[in-house]
């Protein structure tokens, strides 16, 4: 139960509930003061209280934005006669796309070809490698590295069903020997790989480093795009795109 309550999505929901009595009190005070209050005003007040409580509880900045916008979105949706099946379809699509983001705090982040180039250049040369992209999304990096390094075995692991299925289909359609596994990277042994690539989120970095420091073998490499590990200075830093996020590298 404590683990569930610590999930940011659950906390956000509870904070919306906590904001409601504050909103009622504020709206009552405005009405007593003779001010005209409509539904938009109520939604704005609810959003402000929810965002403020989220800031107080230390939720990430994007949660504060979501908390503020949520009451306005609910109000806006209520103004349109949208069939329930549409909501169900959108919900199922987002569920399959993001799956347990509420727990892992790792949303879908695509990287891009410039990042793939930088990772390929940073890999050890002259021997076959075992490489894995943890949180491989649609599989772009994995397929690209497998094409560049046919002597190596490139893996991707993805928890969300829809991106995982898309990556499997892409590998099948192109005849790539790249392997895609559906699951949580925490179940892997990083000691089985020569290189690990991560594009996760700030919230996931401490646990990632704990696992890497415990399991990665001498001579292996850990890459993290955009998000740095503060417990140990990186061995190298490159900027794949001008003024864009950095690619960090740690040699073991």
Read off the tokens for 82.
């949208």
What's the pLDDT tens digit per position in 123-133? Answer: 999 899 999 99
Band (pLDDT 50/70/90 cuts) for residue 4 is: low
User: What pLDDT score does 189 carry?
Assistant: 95
Topology (CATH) of 113-251: Rossmann fold (3.40.50)
Q: Using DSSP, state whether 159 is helix, strand or coil.
A: coil
For the chain, where do the domains classified as CATH 3.40.50.150 start and end?
A: 113-251
Closest C-alpha to 144, from 109, 182, 118:
118
d(CA 194, CA 200): 19
Query: Is residue 154 within 8 Å of residue 125, measured between CB atoms?
Result: no
Q: How confident is the model over 136-140, as a mean pLDDT?
A: 89
Phi, psi (rounded to 5 degrees) for 245: -60, 160
Rg (CA), the chain: 22
Query: Is residue 198 within 8 Å of residue 220, measured between CB atoms?
Result: no
Strand 247-251 and strand 236-238: pairing?
Answer: antiparallel
Phi, psi (rounded to 5 degrees) for 146: -65, -35
User: What pLDDT score does 89 carry?
Assistant: 67
- pLDDT > 70? residue 122: yes
What's the pLDDT tens digit per position in 158-179? Answer: 888 888 889 999 999 999 999 9
What's the pLDDT tens digit per position in 224-235? Answer: 998 898 888 999
Q: How confident is the model over 10-38, as a mean pLDDT?
A: 87
User: What pLDDT score does 6 carry?
Assistant: 63
- pLDDT > 70? residue 185: yes
d(CA 142, CA 147): 9
């Amino acid at each position: 139960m404590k683990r569930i309550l610590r999930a940011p999505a659950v906390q956000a929901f509870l904070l919306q509930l906590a904001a409601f009595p504050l909103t009622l009190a504020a709206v009552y005070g405005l009405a007593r003061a003779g001010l005209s209050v409509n539904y938009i005003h109520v939604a704005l007040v609810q959003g402000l209280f929810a965002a403020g409580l989220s800031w107080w509880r230390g939720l990430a900045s994007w949660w504060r934005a979501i908390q503020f916008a949520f009451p306005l979105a609910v109000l806006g949706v209520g103004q349109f006669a949208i069939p329930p099946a549409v909501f169900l379809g959108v919900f199922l699509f987002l569920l399959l796309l993001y799956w347990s983001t509420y727990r892992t705090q790792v949303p879908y982040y695509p990287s891009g070809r410039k990042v793939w180039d930088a990772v390929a250049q940073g890999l050890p040369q002259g021997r076959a490698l075992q490489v894995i992209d943890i949180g491989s999304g649609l599989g772009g990096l994995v397929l690209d590295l497998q094409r560049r390094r046919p002597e190596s075995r490139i893996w991707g692991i993805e928890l969300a069903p829809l991106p995982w299925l898309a990556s499997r289909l892409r590998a099948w359609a192109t005849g790539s020997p790249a392997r895609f596994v559906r699951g949580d990277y925490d179940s892997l042994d990083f000691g089985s790989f020569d290189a690990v690539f991560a594009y996760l989120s700030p919230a996931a970095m401490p646990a990632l480093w704990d696992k890497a420091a415990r399991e990665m073998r001498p001579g292996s490499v850990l890459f993290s795009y955009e998000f740095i590990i503060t417990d140990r200075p990186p061995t190298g830093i490159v900027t794949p795109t001008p003024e864009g996020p950095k690619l960090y590298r740690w040699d073991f």
